Amino acid sequence: MDTLAGYLRKIDDMIWGPWLLCLLLGTGILLMIRMKFMPIRRLGYALRCAFGLEEDGSQAVKGTKEGAISPFSSLMTELAATIGTGNIVGVATAMVLGGPGALVWMILSSLIGLALKFVESTLSVTYRIRNEAGEYCGGPMYTLERGFPLKRMGHLLAVAFAVFAVLASFGMGNMTQANSIASALESTFDVEPSFTGLIITIATILVVLGGIGSISKVTCIMVPVMAVFYLLGAITVIIVHWRNLPSGIMTIFAMAFSPGAVAGGVGGHLAASMQQALRWGVSRGVFSNEAGLGAAGISAAAAHTDDPVRQGYISMTGVFLDTVVICSVTGLALVASGVLGLEDGKGNLLTGTDLTIAAFATTFGDMGACLVTLGIVLFAFATIIGWAYQGEKAFEFLVKKQKYCIIYRFVYGFMCFVGAVCALDVVWDFSDICNGLMAVPNLICVLVMGGGVCRDVVAKDLKTKARSEGEPQNYK
């Protein structure tokens, strides 16, 4: 296993090298400039649309059709796939491996990610199809195959994306989540990982067998409840330790932009350079909000809407809620509580679940472990069922027949058990590799095809400037 772990780590470091970070950030910055920062300027409008507070004449606010779900349900399914262990374990891991400054790069990359997710989701709705069961099917694989200028290359990129998306669903969407649940339950309640894996497997299969309808019903209830529950706990930790917050924030920014290794303050024994902060902040930020990966477009395409641009705005709010809100609160709770740099009994730095539990324990005592564990279970299980839909649609694209998806659902459930009993390092490195591979064809897609979306959005904003609140029109 040590040999496998070392091999995966080398591949992970190679894929998540400077070239991919530049491709992700560069693509996002380019799109943001071409849209004249519309994703940021229209964030308020997007949030109102997401929560049904912005009325217009499109079908997006008039209910659903057979084979489709509401735009809000689509967002909740997307958030279920993104709000997971990345918000708890991922933030803690990034701030240990990359130093506290990694939080800054997580937030900055998420703001750039607004443009990425907006464009990839808009394209996914535009080029979606109806399958034999009458369900909407979309995502970068359909965008590439149906809309890419070079048809043969588009087909090859579409197949590559679909294969990587299926693998990512097993890694990022499944095994990392099951592993985090098993680790948290074993640490807090001494539950055997194999037993946890069995329960997760059964529960996952029961939910995903019902398809997108069943998944969306669960996520519409679970996502808002778990988000509010966790945020209240983390904000309480920050309030209790508010005196440490100013110095903690100063250390975060100092370590984010320092060219050399630094340590001390809230960083304890931590030392990290700007390059490390950038690498782990961006990669864990992408792991958390999935901007640039393209998976969100699969969920966005399931929405009943006649306005791809509006759905693109709704979809991009997932990045803001996931990273700017939840990950930021987690990071501030870690620095305010002063647990960064603490070591366990063996002299190893606390990281992941253990670090977040230590932060909550400073405020809630022994109950802190129970609160974090419950948060991880809810977040991670929601991610598992949310990613089940995204992975299934990628699998359906490859096999071309929906009837074969039953195979994917049972295999996906079994992978929960595998993830629960695997070593943590192996699971996370495999997931990072899948993320990177998945991002490449999607970024090529938005680079080549995103220009039309950018021009359309800017033109429509100019046309509607006279109104008190502009509204996006159809992107065809």
Which residues, 6+ apart, have CB-to-CB distance to 217 below 8 Å? none
Position 471 in a domain: no
Position 27 in a domain: yes
Position 135 in a domain: yes
Position 439 in a domain: yes
Position 199 in a domain: yes
Instruction: Tell me how many domains the chain contains.
Output: 1
Supply the CATH number for residue 137's domain. 1.20.1740.10
Mean pLDDT, consecutive 10-residue stretches, the chain (476 aa), reads: 76 84 90 94 91 61 54 75 73 86 91 94 95 90 96 96 93 86 86 94 90 74 81 94 90 79 50 76 80 89 89 92 90 91 77 84 88 85 89 94 90 93 76 86 95 86 59 44
Q: Can you read off the two tokens belonging to residue 376?
A: 């991880």
Q: Hey, what amino acid is at 180? A: S
Position 476 in a domain: no
Position 129 in a domain: yes
By residue range, what is the domain housing residue 423? 2-463
Position 106 in a domain: yes
Distance CA 318, CA 80 (A): 10
Pairing of strands 136-137, 129-130: antiparallel
Reduced 3-state DSSP string for 157-216 = HHHHHHHHHHHHHHHHHHHHHHHHHHHHHHHHHCCCHHHHHHHHHHHHHHHHCCHHHHHH
Alpha-carbon separation of residue 34 from 30, 466, 473 (angstroms): 6, 22, 18
Distance CA 280, CA 286 (A): 10
Q: Which long-range contacts (CB under 8 A, 24 or more apart) does 151-157 make?
A: 157/441, 157/444, 157/445
Distance CA 340, CA 451 (A): 43
pTM summary value: 0.85
